Amino acid sequence: MTDATATTAASGTLLRVAGITKVFGTLKANDAVDLDVAPGEIHALLGENGAGKSTLVKMLFGSLQPDAGTIFWKEEPVAVANPMQARALGIGMVFQHFSLFDALTTAENIALSLDEATALSTIAERAKALGDAYGLPLDPNAVVGDLSVGERQRIEIIRCLLQKPELIILDEPTSVLTPQEAEKLFVTLDQLRGEGKSILYISHRLEEVQRICDRATVLRHGKVVAHCTPANETPASLASMMVGADVAAVQRTGAGSTGEPLLEIVDLVRHAASPFAVPLSGVSLTVRAGEVIGIAGVAGNGQGELFEALSGEVLQTTPGQVRLRGKDSGRLGISQRRRAGAAFVPEERLGHGAAPGMKLSENLLLSRHRTDGKAFLGPLGVIRSGAIARSTKRIVSDMDVRKSAEDPEAAALSGGNLQKFIIGRELDRKPAIMVVNQPTWGVDAGAAAHIRQALIELARSGSAVLVISQDLDELFEISDSIAVMHNGHLSAPVPIADATYEKIGLLMGGAEPGHAARDMEVQA
């Protein structure tokens, strides 16, 4: 018996599930799952995309109902009929895919999740104070529709904590934090654990799981395949449990070449499109053939605005502010930029990267009919269904996209599997320029390694790759240089040989580039 098991046995359980099963058609998303969470522990729930994690926690929160099995809360069997009942029991949850109303403000969205009537001004004050304390600053009066994905996640975390739950289910909580902010969150989680609160922690960052979690339950294909103490494991062994095989390490072979400039950003200026948007000021960067440039930064510092400018969703006032393969392209739209050899993967999968109600093959046609017209469209615009089906199957196979039907709607895929398809859809074109925003957000270790290796290999084949990510581990793994975006400004790229987590983290927090080393000395 491990120390963690002994502690659980001595203190009883806060939450226990026995034989929980959930079936969708012919797919068993959860197959007789057993799990227990003790008072005052941080318990990791691990698994590949599509392993059944989201289905399980949705049943714990009352969003889904099990087909078999029992949920026990404080040793008593309960039927969690809906999220309101879950909150009444003392269960709070932060979903990976957010449940926010775009037309409402931050404070209004939080108010909707509270079961008691509280003045909006009081909610705004409490949310802002809690956000500041957790290193998750938010504007209570900001309209959610104007916010980035990362800022929306902050709202979800804060409104969960405001409910003062006994069990907090956290899904990828550190994905939008700097290393310094993540450290503050870990301190807070340790304090909650010390107060007897329990946390069910879902994360693909296995180093942090190993560091902060007391125990872990591992799911694979809907079944529990392992229980372990993360401190006694390694990230590699945890990943192996998740996928059932060793996960190949990402290989950044050689240094980025000094080939010709393929993507050039020249003194890019963009005014704020709304009162809550971030203006871009004097952004300049060159990405050459053969190299991967990473852009780090806390969510909401202009990364979304930069992606829109590069993709052609927003045109530039001066054509030369964005240059593709040596040609001024700032006034070209999305399709024209794609025909010039560029590919773009946005941050938001559903609704931006893919149409939720359309099949995978239809999404492929929608995104590539302007660039692959001869392959996908016959005379008079007749759709070549066979060619589209073959391309879809090739992408699904190359990216190991797990799905429950031959050609499902995009919304039917798990977040990670949809991400794999969207990335694969663009890689399949073999673009000369690839711009990706959050390539592996919410993606399991095996899939993340596959995506990262594919981006490196694309660059080494002679393409220019620009990766915007809040995951510093990812950027250090794949980038030849890392630049930092803060408050609409972009730092000069730091060669990976000179980059450290402390240096990049300080730049993410707003330190002046030339003062980063000095700031590190002061902190020491």
Taking residues 58-81, report their average pLDDT: 95
State the number of CA atoms in the 13 A half-sphere of 221 facing the CB: 3
Percentage of the chain exceeding pLDDT 90: 56
Distance between CA atoms of 512 and 505, rounded to whole angstroms? 12
Which of 72-81, 119-128, 229-238, 379-388 is predicted with the least confidence, judged by mean pLDDT? 379-388
pLDDT of residue 102: 84
Distance between CA atoms of 448 and 418, rounded to whole angstroms? 13
Are residues 36 and 181 located together in one domain of the fold? yes
359 pLDDT exceeds 80? Answer: yes
Spatial contact of 67 and 22, defined as CB atoms under 8 Å apart: yes
pLDDT of residue 175: 64
Residue 109 lies in a domain: no
Q: In 342-381, which ranges are continuous DSSP H helix? A: 360-368, 373-376
Spatial contact of 436 and 345, defined as CB atoms under 8 Å apart: yes
Last residue of a domain, one of 430, 447, 464: 430
Tokens of 44: 């990791």
283 pLDDT exceeds 80? Answer: yes
pLDDT of residue 89: 95
Q: In 20-95, which ranges are continuous DSSP H helix? A: 53-60, 83-89
Task: Indicate the pLDDT class of residue 372, thresholds 50, 70 and 90.
Answer: confident
Tokens 């510092």 -> residue? 301
Tokens of 266: 């020249």
Residue 133 lies in a domain: no
7 pLDDT exceeds 60? Answer: no
11 pLDDT exceeds 50? Answer: yes
Label residue 162 left, alpha or beta by phi (over 0 means left) and psi (-120 to 50 means alpha). alpha
Are residues 319 and 365 located together in one domain of the fold? no
Taking residues 508-519, report their average pLDDT: 61
**In this predicted model, what pLDDT tens digit does every residue of 15-60 receive, in sequence order?**
999 999 999 888 899 999 999 999 999 999 999 877 899 899 999 9
Are residues 437 and 505 located together in one domain of the fold? yes
Tokens 């030849």 -> residue? 480
Tokens of 488: 């609409």
Task: Indicate the pLDDT class of residue 150, thresholds 50, 70 and 90.
Answer: low
Are residues 454 and 419 located together in one domain of the fold? no
In the chain, the amino acid numbered 171 is: D
pTM: 0.72
**In this predicted model, what pLDDT tens digit does every residue of 266-276 receive, in sequence order?**
999 999 887 76
Last residue of a domain, one of 191, 223, 243: 243
Contacts of 121 (CB under 8 A, 6+ apart): none
Helix (H), strand (E), coil (C) string for 454-506: HHHHHHHCCCEEEEECCCHHHHHHHCCEEEEEECCEECCCEECCCCCHHHHHH
Spatial contact of 113 and 163, defined as CB atoms under 8 Å apart: yes
Distance between CA atoms of 193 and 206, rounded to whole angstroms? 20
Length reported for the chain: 524
How far CA 450 is from CA of 170, 248, 251, 342, 522, in Å, comes to 25, 9, 11, 21, 39
pLDDT, greater one: 401 or 331? 331
Are residues 206 and 313 located together in one domain of the fold? no
Using DSSP's 3-state secondary structure scheme, residue 60 falls into helix
Long-range contacts from 108-115, C-beta under 8 angstroms, 24+ separation: 109/144, 109/155, 109/159, 110/140, 110/155, 110/158, 110/159, 110/162, 113/159, 113/163, 114/159, 114/162, 114/163, 115/84, 115/87, 115/88
Residue 143 lies in a domain: no
pLDDT of residue 431: 96
Task: Indicate the pLDDT class of residue 96, thresholds 50, 70 and 90.
Answer: low
Which residues is 42 bridged to in the sheet? Answer: 199
Which residues is 171 bridged to in the sheet? Answer: 202
Question: In this structure, what CATH number is given to the domain that contains residue 35?
Answer: 3.40.50.300
Residue 297 lies in a domain: yes
Q: Cα 64 vs. chain centroid, distance in angstroms? A: 23
**In this predicted model, what pLDDT tens digit does every residue of 396-417 receive, in sequence order?**
999 888 887 889 999 988 777 8
Count the domains in the chain.
3
In the chain, the amino acid numbered 264 is: E
Spatial contact of 226 and 243, defined as CB atoms under 8 Å apart: no
Tokens of 428: 């399949």
Last residue of a domain, one of 228, 243, 258: 243
Taking residues 366-375, report their average pLDDT: 82
**In this predicted model, what pLDDT tens digit does every residue of 422-445 receive, in sequence order?**
999 999 999 999 999 999 877 777
Task: Indicate the pLDDT class of residue 516, thresholds 50, 70 and 90.
Answer: very low
Are residues 47 and 180 located together in one domain of the fold? yes
Residue 324 lies in a domain: yes
Percentage of the chain exceeding pLDDT 70: 91
Taking residues 238-266, report their average pLDDT: 81
Are residues 404 and 258 located together in one domain of the fold? no
341 pLDDT exceeds 50? Answer: yes
pLDDT of residue 490: 96
Spatial contact of 314 and 270, defined as CB atoms under 8 Å apart: yes
520 pLDDT exceeds 90? Answer: no
Residue 375 lies in a domain: yes
Spatial contact of 102 and 144, defined as CB atoms under 8 Å apart: yes
Are residues 505 and 399 located together in one domain of the fold? no
Residue 64 lies in a domain: yes
Taking residues 285-297, report their average pLDDT: 95
Domain around 513: 248-341+431-524
Are residues 321 and 423 located together in one domain of the fold? no
Tokens of 205: 């960052």
Are residues 202 and 322 located together in one domain of the fold? no
Closest CA to 478 of 161, 206, 250, 235: 250
Task: Indicate the pLDDT class of residue 1, thresholds 50, 70 and 90.
Answer: very low
Spatial contact of 43 and 228, defined as CB atoms under 8 Å apart: no
Closest CA to 482 of 468, 493, 498: 493
Distance between CA atoms of 479 and 473, rounded to whole angstroms? 10
Task: Indicate the pLDDT class of residue 514, thresholds 50, 70 and 90.
Answer: low
Which residues is 472 bridged to in the sheet? Answer: none
Output the average pLDDT for the chain.
Answer: 87
Distance between CA atoms of 296 and 502, rounded to whole angstroms? 13
pLDDT of residue 444: 75
Are residues 490 and 355 located together in one domain of the fold? no
Residue 74 lies in a domain: yes
Are residues 252 and 321 located together in one domain of the fold? yes
**In this predicted model, what pLDDT tens digit does every residue of 442-494 receive, in sequence order?**
777 778 888 999 999 999 999 999 999 988 888 999 999 999 999 999 999 99
State the number of CA atoms in the 13 A half-sphere of 299 facing the CB: 27
Tokens of 404: 């429950």
